[in-house]
Amino acid sequence: MRKEANIFVAGHDGLAGSAIVRRLTREGYRSLLRRTSFELDLRNPRAVADFFQRNRIDYVFLSSGDEGGSFSDGLNPADQIRDNLLIQTNVIDAAYRFGVKKLLFLASECVYPKTAPEPVKEEALMTGPLEPADEARAIAKIAGIRMCQAYNRQYGARFIAAVPASLYGPNDEFEVGRSGVLQSFIRRFHEAKVRQDPWVTMHGTGLPRREYLHADDMADACLFLMNRYEESDIINIGAGQNGSVAELAFEVSQAVGYGGDIRFDTSKPDMATRKRLDASKLESLGWQPQIPLKDGLAGTYEWFSQHYAHATVSR
């Protein structure tokens, strides 16, 4: 991509989109187009078409869409599938109709079957049933992947799709019960530290394993792919490391500075296991993640402290 190219980052104010904006800015890209949902409703096809027609966009990073955890997905499945489908359809179609040179669609590891062998290879897509709690968002994301591939076949577009591991980092959501596991852990341990609670009780056994990718590593991979990847086949962006929920809870408690005990209530169900991705395809092209979990958690908690520390601590 030329440094003076017009680049639209859809979802620039979310976890993934804001990381992509930071990465592009550091690399010296000078013409980044950003619109909030109030300025541009991506669910509105006419508004999206008008925006693309006016701005002569060269490249698109499509990271817009709800990034919530499984719990939030289960609460609003209709919103999940409707909004994601509308946004994807409008942006991908406008990108084709108004001559965008290349588009990167950011999917989610929820697109893979619940029982896919780990580490999950790209070929596992649509080979089995999805995780029920994630199904609405997963179906929408799969449709986005297939739409990119269809436009490539029928119209000769250059639309690529990447599947990142579960993300964390600055500009995330940290509402307990509505965000991802890592994010809710940060808030819970922070509040326990403020209240000086002697212990924090977690649901389940702590045994399910999860993989987490720092948003800045994801953004670096997206820029790498936009410049070097031309295949229609999806490609995984993995963190190269995973651990149990119990190990994650310990790491988060250390980052937060909580000194109490961590207990597990085994009478409660375990959280859904997130899939560990096989990122060998991307690694073979020359990309590797750079941010260790410990460092990523420290930076994420610093951001949380600056933006959420004022929040009321419940008792």
- Asked if 193 contacts 82 with a C-beta cutoff of 8 angstroms, the reply is no
Q: Is 26 annotated as a binding residue?
A: no
131 closest CA partner among 66, 69, 78, 182: 69
DSSP 109-155: GGGS-TT--SSBPGGGTTSSPPPGGGHHHHHHHHHHHHHHHHHHHHH
Is 141 one of the annotated binding-site residues?
A: yes
Q: Is 210 annotated as a binding residue?
A: yes
Q: Which helix (H) or strand (E) holds 49?
A: helix 45-55
Q: Is 167 annotated as a binding residue?
A: no
Residue 162 marked as a ligand binder? no
β strands within 215-305, DSSP E: 235-237, 242-244, 261-265
17 is in an annotated binding site: yes
Question: Is 13 labelled as part of a ligand binding site?
Answer: yes
Burial of 98: CB neighbours in 10 Å, binned 0-12, 13-18, 19+? middle
Q: Is 188 annotated as a binding residue?
A: yes
Confirm whether residue 157 is marked as ligand binding: no
102 is in an annotated binding site: no
The verdict on whether residue 216 carries a ligand-binding annotation is no
Pairing of strands 159-164, 59-62: unpaired
Binding residues for substrate: 188, 210, 270
Annotated binding site for NADP(+): 11-17, 141
Q: Which residues fall in the annotated binding site?
A: 11-17, 141, 188, 210, 270
